[in-house]
Structure 1
Amino acid sequence: MVQNLNILSFASYGNLLTERPGGVGLPKGPHWEERLLTATAQETYQYLSSDSVYLDYESGMSILAVAKEGEEFQYFYLDKPVCVYPGVRFAIAPYQDSCTVHMMARRTSWPQAEPLTVSVRELALSRRLQVERVYTFFYHEKERGFFFRGEEHSMLELTYVDKGSIHSVAGGQDLVLTQGDMAIYGPNQWHMQYADPDCAPSYITITFDLEGDSLERLLNRKFRTPQKAVLLLQQMLRERDREDRYTGDMLISLLGQLLLTVLREAEGSARLPLRTANAINNENEVVGHAQRFIGQNVRMKLSVPMVAREVGVSPSYLTALFHKNLQISPGEYIRRAKLQESKLMIREGKMNFTEIAQVLQYSTVHHFSRQFKEKFGITPTEYARSIR
């Protein structure tokens, strides 16, 4: 990757010259010679001198490659005049078609030039993995013991279990995916899914096309979904409901981030040793801990102070983290979690609406029914009829 040219980053190879009105402080006199050097994508040279060499950009986007003896080139964007130390190999290459720089050196030690093959375009950041299309993005709420007889298609398919558990059958394996598990089916891979008779699961499926790196290492296995990937899935669900002109772009971008997060986790990449990265990880851990506590105790009488005590932060800080990461308050998250739990309980069919309202700590069944309709647009009775 091309680096910024500054005093610290360039210190091992040379120093930066001060630019001032009327010109740059390049050496002058009969012992010095100045030439204009033009480099093209097809023709690039490397230079070496036993004396200091001065360089300044003239036109085009110029990349300065420098290296000490026995070392690999380091690349800098040449946007200011520099002095390259004696014995440092250097080359000028264009970012686009061509570039021109001033080179000043002593006549008696003019740098020797040798052809160099270097593709600076490869230094630019490019995608190793890119989601091309998202075909379907569904949140399934299934009845107890549901059975899907199976299919195969040319797209990749991701499955994430949000509630309960499902059986994922593919590649000769019957894997049990529980809450927080993910599985990915490959192109043209036959797969089927079903639930145990006493389980009414909720899960997400996404079908998509991918270019670049293969997901081969993730296929035919189940894995725990990293908390950051869970947050991305939740953001995708919110984006899906927006339905504006950029919804598709956002979903494709978020799915790409999710897959990269899962791949990094699978490869066991070490966390970046940056305080900012650690802070983000700590925030994710707090939010994830709070979400797990709410999910595991959703039938209790929950409050924001109670959840904050559980995760070891103040209610105000927890509220700030929820707004930052989930774009909702923890109180609203609790309300939604209870309503999602009520749908699961309705699908299980073991309780009537009054009992469900009592178990979920609603003051009255009417309060429960009103919140249910506000959230889902139908009454609990209408929802129960729709799944029979």
Structure 2
Amino acid sequence: MFIKTTNPTFKNFGELVCDSLDRDFSKDINIKNKSIKKLKLTSDNSTFLKVNKGVVMILVSLDGKDIKSFIINRIINLKKGIYFNLISISDESEVSIISKDEFKSINLKEEYTYTKISSSLNIDQIYTKFYQEKGTNYSFAGESHPYWELTYVDKGNLSTNVDGKEYNLKQGDLIFYAPFQFHTQATLNNISSYLTINFKMDSNDYEVLCNKVFTLERESYNIISKLIEELSNDDIYSNDLSICYLKQLIIHTARLKNTYFQSKPTTHMRQTYENSLLNEILLFIDEHIYEKLSINTLCSHFCISPSMIHSLFKKNMDNTVKNYINELKLSKSKELIKNTSYTISEISDMLGFSSIHYFSKKFKTSFGISPTEYSKSIYD
């Protein structure tokens, strides 16, 4: 995540100039570079920087080795003895600088390069979408085509031959076929239901996605459930959401380190029950977030055992109940600090923390900044 120069941690390197300066900036420089090989050193206490156009990242260091990065969102005055340089996040930028320094430069051991946030996997279009049920001994002779295809087995089993190699898919398994990759499909002595999607994708991850069977983990299963739902809808933006969920599914699948997982795929009925119960629990926690919540409170209210609620959160949230409640309370505390006039102590009490010291410690652990520093940063 980016950090702005209004963040309290920037005070180690310089200060904000909130008022307009009663002086003309002596030099305007245009910046296009996305990488730097050198750092400049300030030897004067008056090195002012102002961004006139674009988005600019300043790289700063106290020793020329440990580099921190900030997005310049105010006029700044760098301290004496600070190493710095600038990178343009936008296509090009303009910065005004005033300083009496003739900056000395040092070479970096390794070039610092900014990697822009952009998509490396693009899905332009979904051509076809089929959810079909096939009887026993169904056999498809095979095909190849100039687009990607995925098949997900929702029930039963499926056999597929890809470029002469046989693969067997069971419930919860997924396989990808690359463009022009010949493949057949057949059921294995039972009724099988599966989803098939043909789509146009710009990707070179053939080795990651192809010629293997993926058994979906719980999070990916939830994504494909949403994908199936949106593919069946005609609501506004359903097509956009379908492509988003398909892309998310592919990314999650590509990240899988192992073909099989200890978490066994659940049945659709079981997952529907778990989703409904979990949603009710999450809603209850949200509505009672200002109270002292415990696992026993939740178990008593929903008539379930502690082991069941632990399993529910672990499988579907990849989190513990206690952590989830604490994270939600801390998120609420940020909203209260930002949008109300309550003191830090009052907010700590409102959210049921045992002490303001404990609250401050948890807040800083989660967000890297104390509640007091966060409050000040909002109004700087």
TM above 0.5, yes or no, is yes
| Alignment check: 8 A CA contact 1:290 1:311 kept | no
Residue 73 of structure 2: aligned partner: 79
Residues matched between the structures, number: 278
| Alignment check: 8 A CA contact 2:39 2:64 kept | no
Mapped to 2, the partners of 1:231 and 1:71 lie a distance apart of 44
Mapped to 2, the partners of 1:50 and 1:294 lie a distance apart of 64
Mapped to 1, the partners of 2:216 and 2:154 lie a distance apart of 11
Output one character per residue of 1:287-310: Cα deviation in whole Å (capped at 9) or x when no partner: x868574699xxxxxxxx999669
2:52 is the counterpart of 1:59: yes
Change (3 A) 1:42 1:63: closer
Output one character per residue of 1:120-147: Cα deviation in whole Å (capped at 9) or x when no partner: 8x54310121212211121111112211
Residue number among 93, 111, 119 corresponding to 2:103 in the alignment: 111
2:257 is the counterpart of 1:251: no
Residue 3 of structure 1: aligned partner: 3
What is the TM-score of this pair, normalised by structure 2? Answer: 0.61
| Alignment check: 8 A CA contact 1:16 1:80 kept | no
Counterpart AA for 1:23:
S
Residue 312 of structure 1: aligned partner: 308
Residue 296 of structure 2: aligned partner: none
| Alignment check: 8 A CA contact 1:7 1:15 kept | no
Deviation of 1:190 after TM superposition, in Å, equals 0.5
| Alignment check: 8 A CA contact 2:140 2:184 kept | yes
SS of structure 2 residue aligned to 1:17 = strand
What is the alpha-carbon root mean square deviation over aligned residues? Answer: 4.1
Residue number among 131, 147, 150 corresponding to 2:142 in the alignment: 150
Residue number among 176, 181, 185 corresponding to 1:193 in the alignment: 185
Mapped to 1, the partners of 2:85 and 2:98 lie a distance apart of 11
2:217 is the counterpart of 1:230: no
Deviation of 1:10 after TM superposition, in Å, equals 2.6
SS of structure 2 residue aligned to 1:254 = helix
SS of structure 2 residue aligned to 1:257 = helix
Counterpart AA for 1:49:
T
| Alignment check: 8 A CA contact 2:57 2:86 kept | yes
Mapped to 1, the partners of 2:107 and 2:39 lie a distance apart of 6
Residue number among 157, 160, 164 corresponding to 2:152 in the alignment: 160
Residue 99 of structure 1: aligned partner: 94
Output one character per residue of 1:159-212: Cα deviation in whole Å (capped at 9) or x when no partner: 111101111211332111001111111111100010122x00001111112224
| Alignment check: 8 A CA contact 1:3 1:75 kept | yes
Residue number among 42, 45, 49 corresponding to 1:49 in the alignment: 42
SS of structure 2 residue aligned to 1:125 = coil
Counterpart AA for 2:4:
N
Q: Which moved more, 1:44-53 or 1:229-238?
A: 44-53
Output one character per residue of 1:2-47: Cα deviation in whole Å (capped at 9) or x when no partner: 43223444355x033252xx536x9x9xxxx962332232799953
Mapped to 1, the partners of 2:271 and 2:239 lie a distance apart of 31
Residue 174 of structure 1: aligned partner: 166
SS of structure 2 residue aligned to 1:203 = strand
% identical aligned pairs: 22
Residue 357 of structure 1: aligned partner: none
Output one character per residue of 1:39-77: Cα deviation in whole Å (capped at 9) or x when no partner: 232799953223445323251123323245553754322
SS of structure 2 residue aligned to 1:189 = coil
Deviation of 1:247 after TM superposition, in Å, equals 2.4
SS of structure 2 residue aligned to 1:265 = coil
Change (3 A) 1:259 1:145: same
Mapped to 2, the partners of 1:55 and 1:171 lie a distance apart of 64
Mapped to 1, the partners of 2:87 and 2:306 lie a distance apart of 57
Q: Which moved more, 1:241-250 or 1:184-193?
A: 241-250
| Alignment check: 8 A CA contact 1:57 1:102 kept | yes
Change (3 A) 1:243 1:42: same
SS of structure 2 residue aligned to 1:229 = helix
Residue number among 13, 29, 38 corresponding to 1:38 in the alignment: 29
Counterpart AA for 2:42:
S
2:180 is the counterpart of 1:203: no
| Alignment check: 8 A CA contact 1:163 1:203 kept | yes
Deviation of 1:86 after TM superposition, in Å, equals 3.6
SS of structure 1 residue aligned to 2:26 = strand
Mapped to 2, the partners of 1:212 and 1:289 lie a distance apart of 30
Pairing 1:344-359 to 2, within 5 Å after superposition: none
Mapped to 1, the partners of 2:271 and 2:302 lie a distance apart of 10
Pairing 1:270-349 to 2, within 5 Å after superposition: 293=270, 312-313=308-309
Mapped to 2, the partners of 1:71 and 1:172 lie a distance apart of 54
SS of structure 1 residue aligned to 2:229 = helix
What is the TM-score of this pair, normalised by structure 1? Answer: 0.60
Counterpart AA for 1:312:
M
2:256 is the counterpart of 1:265: yes
Change (3 A) 1:312 1:78: same
